[in-house]
Each structure stands twice: as C-alpha cells, then as structure tokens.
Amino acid sequence: MYHPLSDIGAPPAVYRRNAPPPPRTEPLTRRHVDVAVIGGGFTGLSAALHLAESGSRVAVLEAKHIGWGASGRAFGQVVPYLKPGQAEILRHYGPERGEHVIDAIGRGPDLVFDLIERHNMACWPVRTGLIFAAHSPSGERGLEERTRFWRARGADVDMVEGRALADLLGSSLYAAASIDRRGGNLNPFGYARGLAHAAVAAGAELHESAPVRGIRRENGRWLVDVGNDGLTADAVIIATNAYSTQLWPGLSESILPLRGHGFISEPLSDNLRRAILPERQSLTDTRQLFSGVRVLPDGRIHASGYGPILGPESIVNPAAVSERLRALFPALGDLRWTESWSGWVAMTADHFPRMHELAPGLFAGLGYNGRGIAAATLMGRDLALLVGGATDTRTVFPLTPLQPLPWRRAAPALARALVEVYRVRDAIDELRFRRARNSSHAR
C-alpha cells in the first residue's frame, strides 16, 4: 500500500487558480490550547470553525497545506446521500437512529451552502441540483425508488425523461434520470480555504507544515508532538481521513484508501457551454465506477474517471473518459485534456462513515466513501459538539468502537479484484444500455 502522505502533487491548478488566497497561519510555539485539531481538510476545518465560534481556543495542525488532501481534490458534488441507500441505512442503524441519519444527511447540503453564504466563501457554489442518470434498467428502478422515497418526505426530487431530460443534459443518451435540487457543486479547494478563513476569523489558529508525530496522555492533558515544537490540549480531534498515519493504533487500518482520478478539459466554445448541462448541474449515472461530469464556471469540462486505485501517483490515459463523453455529448468531438490528478478516498467495509472516541478527550471522524463534502462538514460540526460535552444522541452518526479491518493486509488484492468486477459489470450494462437505446431509436 503506497502511503498517501508521500504524494507530492498539489490539488488541481484549476481549483487553486479560482480559490481565495491562503488563510493566515501562525508559527507553532509550545503552549496550551483547549482543542488541537489534526488535519486541515473539511472535517478538521469544520470542527475548528464550530469550536472557535463557541469560544474554544483551537489550533489546527496540518502536515502539508490547508486543503492539500482529499478535500482539495474532490469532484465537488455536495450530495444529500450516503453511499448506501435508505433501506441499508435503516438496517444498519435501526429504525430510530436510521431515520435520524437519513434526515440529517438529506439536510447536509443546507449546512454547506449556509456556511458558504454566511462567510462569503469564493468557491464557485452552484445549487441548481444534482442529476443521477439511469445507466441500466436496474439503475432506473433504483432511482425511481429513491425519488419516491424523498418525494414522500417533501424533498424537491423528481424523475425526468424524454425531451425534458435531453434539454437538461444537452444529450439524448439517457432515457431517465432523477434530479435532486437539494444538492449542488462547488470548488472543493476553495471551500476548504473558505472554511479556514472563517475559522481564523472566529479565533482559531492554523499551522501548516506541522506533521504530528505522536500524541500521548500526561497529567490530564494531551501532549501533541510536532518535532521541536508542539502543544498541549485538553482534547484532540484526529481529522486525517484517508491520509491517516500510525498516529493512533488501528486508525489507519480501519479504512481502505483508494485513489480517485479527475480530468479537466480546455475551455469549451460559447455554443457548447450553452448546450451542455446548461443549468450547471453535475451529472453522474448509476454505474459502479466513477462517472461524474460537470461544466465549470470557466467553461471547462470536469470529469471523474477510472485509473489505478492503489500505488503511487501516476499519469492516467484519459481515453476512456474521452470515449464516455463523446457518447454523451457527440458535439464535443476530440476533447483536449489539460490537467489530471488523483487523490485518496477513505473507504470503509460497509460504506458508512465512522466517529470514534479513541480515549477520553480524543476523537476521530473519517470514512466518507466519496460522499465527503457534506458528510465531513457535518462530522466536523458533530465532533465539536462532542468535545463540548454533548453525547452522541445529538450527533448525526453514533460513536462506535474502533475496529481495524481484519483483512487489511489482503485489501490491495481484494480491492483490485472488486474494481475489476465493477468494471466488467459496467461494461456489460453499457453494452445492454446502448443496444436498448439503439433499438428504441430504430422504432
């Protein structure tokens, strides 16, 4: 397993060019704070902001730079769902807690966009909804079921078909899709910097290039080792997600980091910008592997795609992404890609996030399975509540014991095999889908 912190590639340039300037950081000196937050991504920055607003003295310790990890490399969708569906959530958490989780996650985009508006964050926020297209008959049935579920709860979610869908997409490829107007998309790196600026304005201190080497309990306080410097804290939040190290026994072994890949095109012509996803929703479909597409405010196509899921950073051939987009938007022709990157996604065995109290006053939240923008913002807020003395009856996710994956050593081989299964299933679905579409067009 290649260690995530050994990556040297920065978050994508298109995100960095269109983000606010770096927040103010402080030199690290030995002192005492109420809370030390380890990790400068969505979880840690949300926790720092909410703690600082409640009057706590907070120090954020980031090994590299604010938003450097998955938070600055994400696709950018703000999704009101977890990876498992509502039936799985109810089975996993039970009826009462499951209903609470479903409702809270459904309102997750509200928290994100409210923070953006309240703190005037420059992060390309677009809240015209999310489009989920049916890539197979079973995918269409799943979307119909989810749409019925949320409509029964009064959510602004609809199935769209035919000409209405073609106009929404700028494409006639899909026969049916669900549009969820609660969600949206943004520049995730800009959002991370926006959270950091808001946290500083509320009184938090940020420390970059401050990799934590260890933490230990001594005389009722936590000693946080940052080499020659360090600090003591009454409480510590570990918010390193897929970039977790051996900082606490078993934490990094409780998740499986997998690589996600992103691609950016040259700017589209004005005609294509007006025709493709004209309302600027992001589009994904029901295949197992990455299928995200959106048009950025500067007119570039942003697509997620398949590449090596493990190992070091590498250059990925965008041929498969180009082929998928030509089928979706034939007018694009031969699209020129100008940038690609990858980042680590923290997967859990059951695809549910985790929140832990590892020891008295030591908390961690991680494992968002590719649904991190809203879920991590919620998690940070809830970790702040726990540090403040609340119980997990007030949080979205319950506290659970830390459980390292027993098959972690075999995880790379298992992950590669599972992704290959998904790839074959997607290819079969793609073939059936195209045949069905061609047959309907012929009639």
Residue 258: partners with Cβ closer than 8 Å, 6 or more residues away: 309, 310, 344, 345, 347, 415
pLDDT at 5: 73
CA distance 37 to 162: 49
pLDDT at 92 over 90: yes
Residue 5: partners with Cβ closer than 8 Å, 6 or more residues away: 63, 64, 211, 243, 245
- Residue type present at position 256: L
Nearest-Å Rg of the Cα atoms of the chain is: 22
Residue 234: partners with Cβ closer than 8 Å, 6 or more residues away: 33, 34, 35, 221, 222, 361
49: β partners: none
CA distance 149 to 180: 12
How much is the mean pLDDT over the chain? 92
pLDDT in tens, 117-168: 999 999 999 999 999 999 888 889 999 999 999 999 999 999 999 999 999 9
What domains does the chain contain, in order, with CATH numbers? 1-124+186-255+348-405 (3.50.50.60), 130-181+256-345+411-443 (3.30.9.10)
Spacing of C-alpha 414 from chain mean position = 23
pLDDT at 76 over 90: yes
pLDDT at 334: 87
Q: How confident is the model at residue 432 (pLDDT cuts 50, 70, 90)?
A: low
pLDDT in tens, 296-348: 999 999 999 888 878 888 888 899 899 989 989 999 988 999 999 999 999 99
Residue 199: partners with Cβ closer than 8 Å, 6 or more residues away: 23, 45, 48, 49, 52, 58, 60, 206
